[in-house]
């Protein structure tokens, strides 16, 4: 059930340049029944000139504390106002949105998680969930710009972690696929989130190596619930909603099987 809920900030910190971690706690009586890795929520800046929620992926869900963790990059005044929140502040949230990854399809397999930049945070929840599934082997290959890393401790706690940096200051010099090749990582299935050029390369790599891949897409959104048709992606088959070739990223996505979407 989707809801607009007033959340309380329980933790706020800067992890790297322009990268912020925020924990939001639900009111006791208003918790979601289920949160899947790869799902997201819409956070509303406390600013009446800004009406749209900011779609931000869930980095961690702690059902015991009723607490969601978000790690986001500031990209403008809206996300900057979110970064300015402090412990105890209130923030409105629309959630839980999107489909997420399906752990059942990944269980018992060698799963390769690929995260690039601000696509890294949802991989933390996914790695944590997968690490509890029997026989599931998780390798996380994360791509950063430089040595200003974030979320590595969380990832290495539940996965074999490999790092790629654009400037070569840590791990493999290059992108996540360079690190996969350099370390000869073998996998049965890939889950990826990151910038579009990375996702295009992952889609090609997965098709070339005959491995299924689930990729999480991003687009400018308005409603977040599938009504406005703002955030669509081209699809190979006719989509279920509009019967054209445009699936709604907020509703049918953000996670798609790579073969379903035409991302060029």
Partner 1 sequence: MTEMKEKRTPDMSVEIAGVKFKNPVMTASGTFGSGMEYSEFVDLNHLGAVVTKGVANVPWEGNPTPRVAEVYGGMLNAIGLQNPGIDVFIERDLAFLKQFDTRVIVNVCGHTEEEYLEVVERLADQPVDMLEINVSCPNVKKGAIQFGQDPGCLEDITAKIKRVAAQPVIMKLTPNVTDIAEMAKAAQAGGADAISLINTLMGMKIDIEKRKFVLANKTGGLSGPAIKPVAVRMVWQAAQAVDIPIIGMGGIASAEDAVEFMLAGASAVAVGAMNFHDPCLTQKVVDGMEQYLIRHNILTARELTGAVL
Query: Does the footprint of partner 1 cover residue 173 (CB under 8 A)?
Result: no
* Interacting span for partner 1 (CB under 8 A) from 123-131, 174-182, 186-194, 228-236: 228-236
Closest to partner 1 by CB, 95 vs 117, is: 95
Query: Does the footprint of partner 1 cover residue 229 (CB under 8 A)?
Result: yes
Query: Does the footprint of partner 1 cover residue 230 (CB under 8 A)?
Result: yes
* Cβ atoms of 181 and 104 closer than 8 Å: no
Reported as type and span, the H/E element at residue 80 is helix 77-83
Q: Least distance from C-beta 36 to partner 1, angstroms?
A: 17
Q: Least distance from C-beta 179 to partner 1, angstroms?
A: 29
Using CA atoms, how far apart are residues 132 and 13, in angstroms rounded to an integer?
A: 28
- Residue 121 CA: distances (Å) to CA of 35, 232, 246: 15, 22, 26
Q: Least distance from C-beta 225 to partner 1, angstroms?
A: 5
Closest to partner 1 by CB, 6 vs 87, is: 6
Using CA atoms, how far apart are residues 47 and 194, in angstroms rounded to an integer?
A: 28
Q: Least distance from C-beta 194 to partner 1, angstroms?
A: 18
Scan residues 62-91 and list those touching partner 1 (CB under 8 A): 78
Q: Least distance from C-beta 5 to partner 1, angstroms?
A: 11
The DSSP bridge pattern shows strands 246-248 and 189-193 to be: unpaired
Give burial (CB, 10 Å; 0-12/13-18/19+) of 134: exposed
Site map (CB under 8 A) of partner 1, residues 26-45, x = contact: ------------------x-
Joined tokens for residue 86: 């402090």
Scan residues 90-129 and list those touching partner 1 (CB under 8 A): 94
* Cβ atoms of 119 and 53 closer than 8 Å: no
Rg of the chain, C-alpha, whole Å: 18
Instruction: By CB under 8 A, name the one of 53, 122, 194, 253 that touches partner 1.
Output: 53
Using CA atoms, how far apart are residues 94 and 110, in angstroms rounded to an integer?
A: 34
Q: Least distance from C-beta 263 to partner 1, angstroms?
A: 11
Query: Does the footprint of partner 1 cover residue 181 (CB under 8 A)?
Result: no
Instruction: By CB under 8 A, name the one of 161, 233, 254, 255 that touches partner 1.
Output: 233
Longest dimension (CA), the chain: 51
Instruction: By CB under 8 A, name the one of 112, 185, 221, 261 that touches partner 1.
Output: 221
Query: Does the footprint of partner 1 cover residue 195 (CB under 8 A)?
Result: no
The DSSP bridge pattern shows strands 189-193 and 213-216 to be: parallel
Q: How many residues lie near partner 1 (CB under 8 A)?
A: 35
* Cβ atoms of 74 and 80 closer than 8 Å: yes
Give the footprint of partner 1 on this chain (CB under 8 A). 1-4, 44, 48-53, 78, 94, 219-233, 241-246, 251
């Amino acid at each position: 059930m989707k809801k607009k809920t007033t959340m309380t900030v329980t933790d706020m910190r800067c992890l790297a340049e322009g990268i912020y971690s925020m924990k939001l706690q639900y009111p006791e009586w208003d918790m979601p029944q289920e949160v899947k890795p790869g799902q997201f929520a819409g956070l509303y800046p406390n600013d009446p000139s800004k009406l749209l929620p900011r779609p931000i992926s869930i980095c961690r869900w702690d059902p015991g504390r009723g607490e969601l963790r978000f790690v986001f990059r500031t990209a403008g005044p809206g996300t900057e106002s979110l970064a300015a929140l402090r412990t105890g502040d209130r923030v409105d949230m629309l959630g839980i949105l999107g489909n997420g990854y399906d752990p059942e399809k990944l269980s018992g397999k060698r799963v390769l998680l690929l995260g690039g930049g601000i696509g890294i945070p949802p991989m933390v929840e996914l790695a944590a969930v997968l690490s509890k599934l029997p026989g599931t082997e998780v390798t996380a290959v994360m791509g950063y710009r430089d040595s200003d890393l974030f979320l590595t401790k969380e990832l290495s706690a539940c996965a074999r972690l490999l790092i790629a940096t654009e400037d070569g200051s840590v791990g493999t010099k290059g992108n996540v696929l360079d690190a996969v090749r350099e370390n000869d990582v073998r996998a049965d299935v890939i889950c990826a989130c990151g910038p579009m050029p990375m996702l295009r390369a992952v889609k090609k790599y997965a098709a070339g190596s005959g491995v299924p891949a689930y990729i999480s897409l991003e687009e400018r959104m308005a409603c977040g619930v599938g009504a406005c048709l703002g955030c669509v992606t081209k699809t190979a088959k006719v989509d279920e909603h509009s019967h054209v070739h445009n699936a709604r990223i907020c509703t049918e996505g953000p996670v798609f099987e790579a073969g379903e979407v035409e991302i060029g």
